[in-house]
Structure 1
Amino acid sequence: MIPTSTLSITQRTHETLKQHLFPGDGKEAAAVMVCTRVPGKRQRLLVKDIILVPYAACSRRDEISITWPSEFIEQGIDLAQQKGLAIVLIHSHPGGTPDFSVVDDRSDQEIIPCLFAAYGDLHGAAVMLPNGFIFGRLYTPEMHVSAIDLVSVIGTDLRFYWGTNKARSAKRPMAFTSEMTAELSGITAGVIGVSGTGSIVAEQVCRLGFGRVILIEFDTVEHKNLNRILNAIKTDADKGMAKVQVFSDRANQYRDQPYVVPVNANVLSREAVLALAESDVVFSCVDKLRARSVADLLSQSFLLPLLDVGVGISTRNLENGEFAVDEVTGRIDYVHPDGSSLFDRKVYTSAALQAEALLESDPEAHDDQVRRGYIEGMPEQAPAVISLNMRAASACVMEFIARAYPFRQETNDQYARTRFMLAESIEEFTSEAEFPKRQSHHLAQGDAEPLLGLPVLSKEDINE
């Protein structure tokens, strides 16, 4: 079942909290989490800032309770009030008590109403255990309480802490098991692009058992791409059906209840971005740089793990004037909000984005680019590339599995990028440490205006 409330936190922030909340003295410690609220059907909170309560400032700290001054809550209110952010108070249970205590209940009844007296309509409380597991609850101004269904930790590895896990075990399900399938039933995947590579990625996440799959695509089915788009048939091309509708109609027949959500829109639209914001992981299967840049910003703004996949076939001229395949390549980048971005990795550059925009403003030049298709240097309308797409799409989804259900003998930070070159039979990997990293100004900004920092996505621009 898809969780109705989630709390997302970066791995770096999670580690900072854990170090502070468990200093080694066996006593409770506390912090304030200031959280962005994501619009949508489910309540999704993103930890944007944390305020660590100094141990010396506490009037009482022992194994089962903590008392700390209100000034740190006031600091949180100052950070959150202007933008209407939520505050979640978090403390530790050094002894590993896997639920809120009577002391915790009493404390919430005293402190949470004070938060509502200041501002807001949603605040909460959470506990971290020595194993890093976080569980929590949310309050309304009437002090109605509900459990946080899922806490997701987004970093080199992906960790999911479920509120239904009463044992509060941090152990991950084993990869490729029914336990993995059971957990995936509560996770939402977003797929950008449902064409050659994207339809294969979408097919995998559907068959793996993701509880919800959000598809973003604005193009229609054509006869020339029937040889590489899964779930598309000739009748769809005859009618010019939307790719996203065709795929979702067929994939929704796999189960008793619909679970695939089609969004017939360009990813560079407010509708698409806000739909993807409700995901837990995003797969980018596009061939345009601007689309990749949007996925990049989406990952940072909404604390989402991102997997970006691309393929290419280069050619060379032979002496007789004919073409020959020079190389067949695929690239998979795993990006998380605290790591290097696609921009940092030069998957796209500012100059390349401008050049692409100019190219698309010139219909003749754009048509020429479309004619070139997959194979560099050759005008190929219906390239026979489904095998290449499947190779890359499989590697892309496997990369997600390796992050959420680790099975590698090395740490996942060694695999920030995977590239394969089939002509040379080479597969190479680039570690996270090999990429430069800039400080992102978009981290956990959520739907702050302009959306993703792009004026074209702002409410004002849409309304005009």
Structure 2
Amino acid sequence: MIAMVHFKITDKMCQELKNHLHNGDGLEALAFVVCGRLNHEGDNWLLAHEVFLMPYEKCSRNVDYVSWKTEHIEHLLEKAKDKGFAIVKVHSHFITNSDFSELDDVSDSSFFEAVYGWSDSELPHASILMYPDGSMMGRTIQSDMSFAAIPKITVVGDSIRSFTNCFQIESVGKEFIRNQQAFGEKTTKILRGLKVGVVGCSGTGSPVIEQLVRLGVGTIVLVDADLIEHKNLNRIVGSTSADAEAKRLKIEAIKKHIERMGLGTKVIIFPTLIQESREAIDTLASCDIIFGCVDSVEGRFYLNLISTYYLVPLIDVGVKLVADGEGGIDSINGNIHYVNPGSKTLLERGVFTQEQLTAESLRRMSPQEYEKRKAYFDNLDVESPAVVSVNMTFAAFAVNEMLARFHPFRYRDNSRFANTCINLSDWDINTQVVRESKSKSALRDIGVGNLEPQMELYVSEETV
């Protein structure tokens, strides 16, 4: 059985390809994309890491064919061999939705035979057609030179676009008819085909999950290591006193609640911290989008790494409710950050500091050393108030943020809403534009996939 292959690329890279391949001269052009890999449960993701635009003068170009010499991309083949990367060939077609030609078949067979000759791996590579509107269609080339359609191509940027081939989403059930009336059949089917990760399933995570299920999302991945306590019952949807008495895992109680709804959402659970589970990281990396609903600085850091390495857009939800100590409230604030690969990281945005990350990591990995140095860290152990109406408000903003990325419904461009700040004390909503990251490591590591240069897993004081 041939594995499912999903090709993902950033919007910036996609625009580079379009400008080069469709420059207006009416002749086919060529480019290559070096891709990191994710191999998970038998399926493969090809993750755009680096784009190489083949110079026009190094090709023989015609209206329906382009040829070149492999020697011009030997540096890419060397990199693919050394790093285990995939090679994706991309060339222009001028008739939208036109298929690969017989000349393309001959060209791909000849080229990818050479690619496999350079490689020590039999994992798939791919060939993609790009049309004038920027849409794409592709196929994988296996080591036996057989072709298979790529079911899904995703472009991740301020908006999230997908192109599907030979891939049908199941029909929408009657439970979601009114969702369809608002967002249309296409978006409702997109939601049914999504795999969405939620890390942190309590205050904001629980109402995020509730909305995702009732919107008809097909698969939800839940990550949370905590047990239900009586103090959680004021804000975890579907939780009961019996759950608290039995000390059930939050995600087990939530999964049971989802199953009682009977709306067809598949639930995958991980009772762990993401930074301590290889399986949880791989499963989140295979998601179409992730919600970070954690107070943990370390959790946010790891989610940002997953977003960068695996081209998974991230929505980070932060809530700060400050009590005045006299039974009142000083301030109620929330921040929704949309992070896509190449945009400023959460660290760059000031969501947390390097000092906070160091302190939290030390507390988890070496509690004794943390206690010795605790005086140097600020209020890491202080719990904040939590109120269901506040959490639900910010959770709703976060879910609507996701909907806007797949179905841009706002009057202004999505680039203007990378950070939404809500101050309920002043009843004020502000949005901010977030520019490209200036972090050399973040930009260098886009789409590296399983290389994961900074993603070490630690449990206690031992590296796994």
TM-score interval w.r.t. the shorter chain?
0.7 to 0.9
State the AA in 1 paired with 2:141.
Y
Q: Is 2:311–2:340's contact at 8 Å kept on the other side of the alignment? A: yes
The corresponding residue for 1:349 is: 353
Cα separation, 2, equivalents of 1:243 and 1:281: 21
Does the CA-based 8 Å contact 1:12-1:155 persist in structure 2?
A: yes
What corresponds to 2:301 in structure 1? 293
Larger mean CA deviation between 308-317 and 253-262 belongs to 253-262
Q: CA deviation at 1:308?
A: 0.2
2:189 to 182, 189, 195: 182
1:91 aligns with 2:91: yes
Work out whether 1:446 is the aligned partner of 2:449: yes
Map of 2:116 onto structure 1? 116
CA contact 1:455–1:461 (8 Å) conserved in 2: no
Q: What code does the residue aligned with 1:333 have?
A: H
CA contact (8 A) 1:231 1:246 kept: yes
Superposed displacement of residue 461, structure 1? 5.6
Name stretches of at least 5 consecutive residues in structure 1 with no aligned partner.
167-172, 376-382
Structure 1 range deviating more: 72-81 or 329-338: 72-81
Aligned 1:276-315 pairs, distance under 5 A: 276-315=284-323
Cα distance in 1 between the residues matched to 2:147 and 2:308: 30
Residue pair 2:201, 2:250 contacting (<8 A) in 1 also: yes
- Give 1:234 deviation, angstroms: 1.9
- 8 Å Cα contact 1:221/1:242 also seen in 2: yes
Distance 2:262 2:8 in 1: 28
| TM-score in terms of structure 2 length | 0.88
Distance of aligned partners of 1:387 and 1:210 in 2 relative to their CA distance in 1, 3 Å threshold = same
The corresponding residue for 1:338 is 342
Asked if 2 retains the 8 angstrom alpha-carbon contact of 1:137 and 1:148, the reply is yes
Equivalent residue for 1:74? 74
Aligned mates of 2:265, 2:183 — CA distance in 1: 24
How much identity, in percent, do the aligned residues show? 33
- Of 197, 200, 204, the residue aligned with 1:197 is 204
- 2:272 maps to which residue? 265
Partner of 1:43: 44
Per-residue deviation at 1:338?
1.5
Deviation at residue 258 of structure 1 after TM alignment: 6.2
* Amino acid in the other structure paired with 2:7: L
Distance 1:247 1:370, change over 3 A: farther
Q: CA RMSD in A?
A: 2.6
Measure, in 2, the Cα distance between the counterparts of 1:274 and 1:329.
33
TM-score normalized with structure 1 length: 0.88
Structure 2 letter corresponding to 1:374: S
CA shift, 1:257, in A, is: 5.8
Is this contact kept in 2: 1:26–1:95, CA < 8 A?
A: no
**Alpha-carbon separation, structure 1, partners of 2:199 and 2:453:** 16
Q: Deviations over 1:319-372 (max 9, x none)?
A: xxx343111111100011111111110101111212334566357979x96985
Equivalence for 1:379 = none
Q: Give the secondary-structure state (helix, strand or coil) at the position aligned to 2:384.
A: coil
Is residue 2:41 matched to residue 1:31? no
**Structure 1 residues 18 and 388: CA distance shift in structure 2, 3 A:** same
Stretches of structure 2 lacking an aligned partner (at least 5 in a row): 169-179
Query: Which residue is equivalent to 1:374?
Result: 384
1:389, CA displacement in angstroms?
Answer: 0.6
Q: Partner of 2:116: helix, strand, or coil? A: helix
Q: Is 2:398 aligned against 1:391?
A: no
Q: Paired residue for 1:169?
A: none
Amino acid at match of 2:211: Q
Listed one character per residue, the Cα deviations across residues 164-196 of structure 1 (whole Å, up to 9, x for unaligned) are 489xxxxxx997223211112222111101111
Counterpart contact for 1:175–1:401, Cα < 8 Å: no
Say which of 241, 249, 258 aligns to 1:242: 249
Q: Tell me if structure 1 keeps the 8 A contact 2:198–2:209.
A: yes
Q: Matched residues in 1 for 2:4 and 2:184: separation?
A: 25
Contact conserved, 1:189 with 1:282, CA < 8 A, in 2? Answer: yes
Q: CA 1:396–1:258 in 2, change beyond 3 Å: closer, same or farther?
A: closer
TM-aligned CA deviation for residue 268 of structure 1: 1.4
Matches of 1:4 and 1:69, distance apart in 2: 30
Equivalent-residue separation in structure 2 for 1:118 and 1:264 (angstroms): 42
> SS where residue 156 of structure 1 aligns?
coil
Report the CA distance between 1:256 and its aligned residue.
7.4
Is contact 1:216-1:262 (8 Å) kept? yes
Distance 2:252 2:307 in 1: 25
Aligned residues: 437
Cα distance in 2 for residues equivalent to 1:50 and 1:324: 55
Q: Distance in 1 between matches of 2:265 and 2:216?
A: 13
Whether contact under 8 Å (1:217, 1:265) holds in the other structure is yes
